[in-house]
Structure 1
Amino acid sequence: MARRCELSGKAVLTGNNVSHAKRRTRRRFLPNLSNVTLQSDTLKKAVRLTVSASALRSVEHRGGLDAYLLKAGDDELSLKARRLKREIAKASEKATEAQAAS
């Protein structure tokens, strides 16, 4: 499993530990990732994703997984999230057509 957020694209960064004597050794800054199950309102199913804590707050702020994915750019999403975004777009398009036909 790659240490990368599937929604925001946050990944591992590298830098230096700097001691009091200014001695530098390489280190890694890991993102705060957690495995979460998010509910898709359009698809009416639960989706399991590896998401950073900041992306999880953004999902809640934007009003759920569907709204977050539709607004997010494809370059920062993982393959799984891009496929999910495409499914949601198709399902919401069908729902819109059904509303218009009624």
Structure 2
Amino acid sequence: MSRRCELTGKGPMSGNNVSHANNRTRRRFLPNLVDVTLSSESLGQSYSLRVSAAALRSVDHRGGLDAFLAKAKDDELSARALKIKKDIAKAAQPAA
């Protein structure tokens, strides 16, 4: 299981631990990933995703999974999230 957010593409970063004596050692900053179940209103189905806490707040702010995926860039999404996005677009197509 990779340490990458499925909705925003946020992944590990690298940096330094800096001691009081200013000694520097390499370290990794890992994203705050959470396993959540998000529901799609247009599909009437729930999806289990591994997203960062910041992405979860963004999903709530934009008004749900459908609205978030509509505005999301395809290159940031995982393969599973991209499939969900295409299914939502396909379900909205006959209504428009």
Normalised by the shorter chain, which TM-score bucket?
A: over 0.9
Q: When the two structures are superposed, what TM-score results if normalisation uses the length of structure 1? A: 0.92
Shift, 1:95, TM fit: 2.5
Deviation at 1:17, TM superposition (A): 0.3
Relative to its length, the structure with more helix (as a share) is 1
| Secondary structure of 1:77's aligned partner | coil
What 5-or-longer segments of structure 1 have no aligned partner?
97-102
**Number of the residue aligned with 1:75:** 75
TM-score of the superposed pair, with normalisation by structure 2? 0.97
Cα distance in 2 between the residues matched to 1:79 and 1:28: 25
Q: Letter of the aligned partner of 2:34 in structure 1?
A: S
- Structure 2 distance, partners of 1:18, 1:91, is 52
Match in the other structure for 1:28: 28
Deviation >3 Å, runs of 4+: none
Q: Percent identity?
A: 64
Considering only CA atoms, is the larger Rg found in Structure 1 or Structure 2? Answer: 1
Corresponding position of 1:41: 41
State the one-letter code of the partner of 1:66. D
Determine the C-alpha separation between the residues in 2 that align with 1:35 and 1:77: 16
Q: Which residue matches 1:12?
A: 12
Structure 2: where are the runs of 5+ without partners?
Answer: none
1:52 and 2:52 matched: yes
RMSD over aligned Cα, in angstroms?
0.6
Aligned to 2:20, what secondary structure does the other structure show? coil
